[in-house]
């Protein structure tokens, strides 16, 4: 038993740390609040967390990360050998963009209208436009567009989208008509077709190694527990889209020359026993949340045993969970964690 626990500890907390060298010349993040590290600070939106207690465990304090400390991009950048976090698009300047940019925006979705009820957010389409601007600037920095394309071909791209197309669209009938206009299957088809086009645009910008994250377990977030929404009903709705992601990755790898897309099965991580990572509380948030937004109330004191909580606020996990998800995304613990491979093998020289 002790040997098994030691192996598990090594898998979750030690394996990535042995990689000290950069495994990709640059990394680009596209996504929502699970990836956002400061872009929404400059937007007029309810999805803004640049205030305490957010960042209570982050060295720089509140930064716009939807976490008590580090988030997924922070840990993934570390595992990939980067000394510093990848900067948000809002503040990335000069030669720093050659290491990569984080375009993620809390509340953003695959569809432009998703998250609009929260205010101004940068949808995936807007993030792709921003990436086009970055690619152009890289051409100026490197001397010409050919050198920029060569650089971009070698980079790693990670996309975490789709959560808000449900949280801030289909499952919000008070603000959106999508659930009355489309069946869950029809809506999932709309999403996957749009997502396919967007990932193909990313490919045209030079992306060759792309990581596609699946949805989190939306039905289990405290926000829905507090509103008595049916877990089974929500799971049936979101599963329609989730089930299409691995086939999408397969199709893109087949249809696009030299493309290497992988799918990260986030749900597979969340179905396991959370106590193995020290989590004891998974049904209520650590911080005092606002009844209006489900985010932490400004300045309120959160729980002290944050490493024992799964959720930080009504939507987002704690730093402990971000670390566990990043670890298994980077180095799969199960064949079901990633398809057709994990991030570690994707960036490994062949």
Say whether 313 is catalytic: yes
Of 76, 53, 75, the C-alpha closest to 66 is 53
CB atoms near residue 79 (< 10 Å): 22
Buried b (16+ CB within 10 A) or exposed e, 281-314: ebeebbbebeeebbbbbeeeebbeebbbbbbbbb
Cα–Cα distance measured from residue 348 to residue 156, given in angstroms and rounded to the nearest whole number = 11
Collapsing DSSP to helix, strand or coil, 103 comes out as coil
- Tokens describing residue 64: 């716009």
| Active-site annotation holder among 131, 151, 316, 323 | 316
Concatenated DSSP letters of 264-302: E-HHHHHTS-GGGGT--EEEEESSPBPTTTSSBPTT---
- Tokens describing residue 286: 């650590």
What is the separation of C-alpha 29 from the centre of its chain, rounded to a whole number of angstroms?
Answer: 8
Say whether 33 is catalytic: yes
Cα–Cα–Cα angle for 73, 77, 78, nearest 5°? 120
| Active-site annotation holder among 33, 123, 168, 329 | 33
Collapsing DSSP to helix, strand or coil, 91 comes out as coil
- In the sheet with 338-339, reading across from the earlier edge strand, the strands are 100-102, 27-31, 156-160, 209-213, 260-264, 338-339
> What pairs with residue 263 in β-bridges?
212, 339
> What pairs with residue 281 in β-bridges?
309
Residues with Cβ within 8 Å of residue 176, at least 6 apart in sequence? 113, 117, 169, 170
- DSSP designation for 11: I
Say whether 17 is catalytic: no
By annotation, the residues acting in catalysis are 33, 313, 316
């Amino acid at each position: 038993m002790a040997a098994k626990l030691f192996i598990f500890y090594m898998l979750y907390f030690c394996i990535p740390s042995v990689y000290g060298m950069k495994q990709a010349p640059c990394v680009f993040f596209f996504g929502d609040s699970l990836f956002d590290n400061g872009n929404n600070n400059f937007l007029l939106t309810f999805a803004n967390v640049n205030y305490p207690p957010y960042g209570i465990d982050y060295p720089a304090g509140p930064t716009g990360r939807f976490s008590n400390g580090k988030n997924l991009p922070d840990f993934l950048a570390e595992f990939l050998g980067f000394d510093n976090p990848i900067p948000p698009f809002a503040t990335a300047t000069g030669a720093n963009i050659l290491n990569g940019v984080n375009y993620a925006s809390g509340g953003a979705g695959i569809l432009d209208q998703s998250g609009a009820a929260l205010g101004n957010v940068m949808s995936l389409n807007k993030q792709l436009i921003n990436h086009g601007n970055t690619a152009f600037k890289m051409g100026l920095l490197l001397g010409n567009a050919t050198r920029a394309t060569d650089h971009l071909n070698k980079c790693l791209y990670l996309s975490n989208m789709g959560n808000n197309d449900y949280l801030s669209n289909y499952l919000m009938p008070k603000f959106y008509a999508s659930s009355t206009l489309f069946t869950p299957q029809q809506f999932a088809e709309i999403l996957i077709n749009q997502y396919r086009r967007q990932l193909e645009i990313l490919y045209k910008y030079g992306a060759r190694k792309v990581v596609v994250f699946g949805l989190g377990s939306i039905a289990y977030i405290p926000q829905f527990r507090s509103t008595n929404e049916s877990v089974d009903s929500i799971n049936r709705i979101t599963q329609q889209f989730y089930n299409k992601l691995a086939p999408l990755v397969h199709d893109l790898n087949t249809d696009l020359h030299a493309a290497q897309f992988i799918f990260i099965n986030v749900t597979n991580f969340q179905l396991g026993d959370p106590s193995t990572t020290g989590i004891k509380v998974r049904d209520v948030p650590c911080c005092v949340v606002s009844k209006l937004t489900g985010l932490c109330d400004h300045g309120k004191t959160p729980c002290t045993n944050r490493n024992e909580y799964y959720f930080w606020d009504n939507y987002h996990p704690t730093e402990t969970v971000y670390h566990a998800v990043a670890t298994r995304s980077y180095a799969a613990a199960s064949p079901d964690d990633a398809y057709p491979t994990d991030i570690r093998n994707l960036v490994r020289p062949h």
